[in-house]
């Protein structure tokens, strides 16, 4: 009976090993998968922290949902600047309405793509000195708006008395800015470590 008992125990051990073998293989595969997932998580956390750092370094006006620097309209800013340099409100001859164009990769949804916004203002009469002051004040008041073109035409021929610096000009100034699309996600908080 002892031999029979030993064979029975060997049979039970073989059945148990046969049952535990696949479980052991599954455990090893799950462990390897967990190691890969932890590596992916670490990479994602690192990228999220890097993105949060980059977003925190953006100027306030460039962040999605931000209205910083936009408390007054472009027209109000131009009118204020003209008054500051001594030009009457009537010097703002025209201001084109805001035109917006989506820019960036076509792989992004239209609402998420950054937008280029453009205005064109025509100011007359203005001298070169006054124009320089206007541009200087514009840069200080609206750093997020870039002057992209300036077209100048004299309103009259210069005379000997005024010289070229005093000739009144008609000036068309185009300014552009890039802002997040309306569907862009707001800035995310920095991930917790």
Q: Give me the CATH code for the 74-179 domain, please.
A: 3.30.70.60
Q: What pLDDT does residue 150 have?
A: 92
Give the per-residue pLDDT at 146. Answer: 86
Task: Spell out the residues 6+ positions from residue 35 whose beta carbon is closer than 8 angstroms to its own.
Answer: none
The H helix count followed by the E strand count for the chain is 3, 5
Domain boundaries along the sequence of the chain: 1-57, 74-179
Beta partners for residue 179, in sequence order: 115
Predicted local confidence at residue 69, as pLDDT: 47
Is beta strand 146-154 parallel, antiparallel or unpaired with respect to 115-126?
A: unpaired
Element (H, E) at 156: none
Q: Write down the pLDDT at residue 151.
A: 92
pLDDT at 169: 87
Give pLDDT tens digits along the chain (193 positions).
688 888 888 887 888 777 777 888 888 888 888 889 899 888 888 888 887 777 777 665 555 554 444 557 888 888 899 999 998 888 888 888 777 777 766 666 666 677 788 889 999 888 888 899 999 998 888 888 889 999 998 887 655 565 555 778 899 999 888 877 665 555 555 555 5
pLDDT of 68:
45
Structure tokens at 49: 């922290």
| pTM to 2 decimal places | 0.54
The whole-number pLDDT of residue 172 equals 93
Q: For the residues of 73-135, what is the DSSP string, one character each? A: -HHHHHHHHHHHTT--GGGEEEEPPPEEEE-S-TTS-GGGS-EEEEEEEEEEEE-HHHHHHHH
């Amino acid at each position: 009976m002892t031999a029979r008992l030993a064979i029975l125990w060997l049979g039970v051990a073989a059945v148990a090993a046969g049952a535990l073998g696949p479980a052991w293989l599954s455990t090893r595969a799950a462990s390897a998968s967990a190691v890969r997932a932890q590596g992916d998580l670490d990479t994602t956390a690192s990228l999220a922290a890097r993105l949060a750092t980059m977003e925190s370094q953006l100027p306030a006006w460039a962040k999605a949902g931000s209205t910083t620097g936009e408390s007054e309209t472009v027209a109000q800013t131009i009118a204020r600047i003209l008054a500051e340099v001594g030009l009457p409100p009537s010097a703002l001859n025209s201001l084109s309405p805001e035109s917006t164009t989506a820019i960036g990769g076509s792989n992004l949804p239209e609402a998420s793509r950054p937008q280029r916004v453009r205005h064109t203002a025509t100011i007359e009469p203005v001298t070169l000195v006054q124009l320089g002051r206007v541009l200087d004040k514009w840069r200080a008041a609206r750093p997020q708006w870039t002057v992209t073109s300036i077209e100048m035409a004299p309103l009259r021929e210069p005379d000997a008395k005024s010289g070229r610096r005093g000739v009144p000009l008609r000036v068309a100034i185009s300014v552009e800015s890039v802002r997040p699309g309306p569907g862009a996600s707001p800035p995310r908080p920095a991930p917790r470590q």
